[in-house]
């Protein structure tokens, strides 16, 4: 059983490994009306969004109906956690805005077991209240380098 390892948080600007973001599709205006109509109905995922939000509420309240959800799809729980804090998931990590917190209010720990790396985040507010979340990262997505930095009130985690 591996123990939690404390992660050092630097105050430097984070380095990104992604240099070229995906090219956006700007050719949609050249399509025929029939093609646009077909694409709209194929991409009408409003019910999937409702299901996704429902699962997000269940996970954040600790009432996961399917206990295997977090184990089979760890990236979904990571995405929910980042969205909960108005952050963003990047191809090489994540970024979370933490306005009002100082570097001393943030604790990050990680633990690697088998093919899974768990990251524990603990944020302590000025009044003493804490927010703690443990998220898993698939070992295939996890690079050799793991770094954390707190720059311009944003927490950047890179792997």
Long-range contacts of residues 79-82, Cβ cutoff 8 Å, at least 24 apart: 80/56, 81/121, 81/133, 81/135
**Is residue 49 in some structural domain?**
yes
150 burial (CB, 10 Å; 0-12 / 13-18 / 19+) is buried
**Is residue 20 in some structural domain?**
no
**Is residue 102 in some structural domain?**
yes
pTM of the model: 0.63
Comparing 1-10, 18-27, 94-103, 111-120, the range with the smallest average pLDDT is 18-27
pLDDT tens-digit series, residues 29-68: 566 777 777 777 677 777 677 777 777 777 666 665 555 5
Best CA proximity match to 66, nearest among 52, 76, 82, 55 = 55
**Domain around 138:** 5-12+33-158
Number of domains in the chain: 1
């Amino acid at each position: 059983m591996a123990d939690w390892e404390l992660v050092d948080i630097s105050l430097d600007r984070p380095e990104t490994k992604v240099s070229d973001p995906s090219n956006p599709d700007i050719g949609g205006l050249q399509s025929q009306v029939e093609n646009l109509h077909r694409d709209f109905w194929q991409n009408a995922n409003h019910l999937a969004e409702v299901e996704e939000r429902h699962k997000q509420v269940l996970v954040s309240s600790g009432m996961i109906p399917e206990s295997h959800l977090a184990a089979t799809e760890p990236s979904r729980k990571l995405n929910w956690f980042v969205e909960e804090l108005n952050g963003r998931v990047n191809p090489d990590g994540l970024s979370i805005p933490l306005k009002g917190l100082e570097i001393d209010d943030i604790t990050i720990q990680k633990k690697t077991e088998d093919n899974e790396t768990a990251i524990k985040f603990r944020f302590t507010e000025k009044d003493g209240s804490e927010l703690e979340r443990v998220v898993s990262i698939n070992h295939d997505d996890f690079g050799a380098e793991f770094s954390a930095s707190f720059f311009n009130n944003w927490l950047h985690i890179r792997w």
